[in-house]
Structure 1
Amino acid sequence: MATKYTQREIWAIREIAQKHGSICYVNDYNLEKEYFDLTNIDRKSGAIYMAYWRMQQGKYDHYLR
């Protein structure tokens, strides 16, 4: 089970958010599958959402430069 997020994962989350406008806890698309297709890492939608939320708070800015 993955715990820390890699730069690749953060970029994937940003790509998904840009594609769909944002990421919310309940999505009408298959967030987990789309994330796995981009990263080859299995994460639950809640974890992906929380990483997106932290990204919005600037916690992953060092990955996005």
Structure 2
Amino acid sequence: MKALFKLDQVAKLLNIPTSTLRYWDKQGLIRFERNRQNQYRQISLHNLCQYYRCHRISGNGYCRRTG
């Protein structure tokens, strides 16, 4: 079973608004999965780490599209 983080948890970790994460998800800049039961956005630890590395390297908070 893989560890999944909810949108609000990720926002707190990165110290950014949830609206920013929703926008990045819509634009394909970060890949969230949907919880099958409630359709909440979630992200795996693997994808979160990939995004975090990209965010740190780019310095501007943006990465290439994920898909």
Q: Quick check: TM above 0.5?
A: no
Larger radius of gyration: 2
TM-score, structure 2 as length reference: 0.32
Report the TM-score when normalising by structure 1: 0.33
Q: Identify the structure with the greater helix proportion.
A: 1
